[in-house]
Amino acid sequence: MTHTCVGIVGAGPAGLVLAHLLKEQGVESVVLERQTRSYVEKRVRAGLLEHGTVALLEQHGLAERLRARGQVHRGVELRFAGRRHRIPYGELYGGRHMVVYAQQDLVADLIRLWVERGGEIQFAAEDVSLHGFDRERPEIRYTRAGREQRLTCDFVAGCDGYHGVSRGSIPTGALRVYDHRLPFAWVGVLAQVAPSTEEIIYAHHPRGFAGHMLRSQTVSRFYLQTEPDDPIESWPDARIWEELQGRLAVDDGWRLREGPVLEKNVTDMRSFVVEPMQFGRLFLAGDAAHIVPPTGAKGLNLAVADARVLAEALLGRVRASDSRGLDAYSATCLRRVWRVQEFSSWMSWLIHRIPDATPDAELRRRMQRAQLEYLCASPAAGASFAENYVGLENL
Ligand code: RFL
């Protein structure tokens, strides 16, 4: 049986950032991850980092590779009615920028630095279960290479994502669950092709939303709106390119490059939050506590924001016996979580094709068009979009 101060379940962005921030101040933790190292270092997910996320990583010496390889962005393109409109969010929000850097590369950097700095991490930790976190000394049990292991700790950080064990370990009735499924889904496509744009494109089209996201000079990410529960088999590669060409088309001669599809899947969209994000000595962070629709590219950034709040709260408790940060942990995180939920939902309803089954669908489509035009024409509307998209800092 071993003991550590903070047992961290999950080596995603939330768990790894938390581990680093604690270690920098001398607080020990052990990270337990269900998957293998090579699996988590290759898992393709998010790619857009907010200004505040990058600043935090830089401040703690975690951003060297990200700075060298990430691409700095200061604007986004909206397309509708065959025309393009740029929103210069950098100018509109005090010169702040965003960075495109793949989540799996960030996770690989954080793991490499964690190991180099002497941190402890157990990959392939199976059957993780949490015990006694309503008492003084929680215990985490897991199996590794066929042998049962026990780790006692002072606090448990549940950073194990939406499908992890932490949230489900909390007694039913102790959490209030908010769960809403949006009537949109995305076909996500990773293709071996150079980008056809320098900035991210969100296209609103009568056939549905299309997005051209960026990854690298040789790989691009695309999204196409589809119906929830649509099987990926109904999206052969030829149909993907035809829909992307049609939905992204503009009238100024711009062309979309095509290339081999490397990966494709259908993701549904939900707004999910549990309150509070803590029970006894167990604290939930990141996707374990909330999921946002992917439209605003916020999930990863929210996970890092939770980790920062939790690290500060734990440091206050462990180093100065000050529990105020931990007592306020959930309320502090939820302020940002709900702001981001609202923005992600608003943006989802702004850029998707409103389904025919929506009450007053035609009326809503006309109001949606008015909103898009307002956003592109008004600096005040642009500034409001910019501060939410780049990430509000005073929350
Ligand atoms: P993660 O990244 O899911 O990490 C959780 C880790 O916990 C491990 N785990 C366990 N470990 C031990 N025992 C268990 N029982 C465990 N169960 C799970 C997992 O293997 C994993 O390593 O959560 P975290 O740290 O909270 O980070 C959240 C972000 O990963 C997430 O919000 C984003 O990736 C969401 N998301 C996107 N966000 C964006 O901002 N922009 C995007 O473009 C974007 N695309 C995506 C996404 C999420 C996707 N998923 C989850 C289906 C695309 C996809 C496909």
| Radius of gyration for the alpha carbons in the chain, expressed in angstroms and rounded | 22
C-beta separation of 142 from 127 below 8 A: yes
Whole-number pLDDT of residue 44: 85
Degrees to nearest 5, angle at CA 5 with 62 and 29: 30
* Ligand 1 pocket, residue 7 CB under 6 Å: no
In this structure, is residue 60 part of a structural domain? no
User: Helical H runs in 170-224?
Assistant: none
Active-site entry in 73, 204, 212, 352: 73
CATH code, 198? 3.30.9.10
333 and 243, same structural domain? no
* Ordered DSSP codes for 296-328: G--HHHHHHHHHHHHHHHHHHHHHH---HHHHT
The pLDDT of residue 216 is: 87
In the chain, the number of structural domains is 2
147-158 and 282-284 as β-strands: parallel, antiparallel, unpaired?
parallel
Residues 6/27, Cβ–Cβ less than 8 Å: yes
| Residue 80 within any structural domain of the chain | no
Write out pLDDT tens, residues 254-291: 999 999 999 999 999 999 999 999 999 999 999 999 99
Please report the atom of ligand 1 found closest to the CA of residue 288: 26
Torsion of CA 241, 247, 253, 259, to 10 degrees: -20
The reply to whether 301 and 168 lie within a common domain is yes
Catalytic residue among 89, 93, 101, 202: 202
* Same domain for 259 and 192: yes
- Domain-embedded: residue 92: no
Which residue numbers in the chain have pLDDT < 50?
A: none
Task: Specify if 289 maps to a domain.
Answer: yes
User: pLDDT for 33-49, tens place per residue?
Assistant: 999 999 999 998 888 99
Pull the structure tokens for residue 326. 């931990």
Domain span holding position 379: 182-269+353-390
Same domain, 162 and 247: no
Active site (annotated) includes residue 138? no
Based on the domain organization, do 194 and 149 belong to the same domain? no
pLDDT at 304: 98
Q: Mark whether 335 and 305 lie in a shared domain.
A: yes
Interior angle at CA 237, CA 267 and CA 43, nearest 5: 45
What is this structure's pTM?
Answer: 0.96
Q: Are strands 176-191 and 220-226 parallel, antiparallel or unpaired?
A: antiparallel
Answer yes or no: are the C-beta atoms of 202 and 211 closer than 8 Å.
yes
Cα dihedral across residues 51, 289, 157, 116: positive or negative: negative
∠ at Cα 226 (220, 231), nearest 5°?
95
- Is there a single domain that holds both residue 111 and residue 20? yes
In 3D, which of 290, 268, 266 has the Cα closest to residue 277? 290
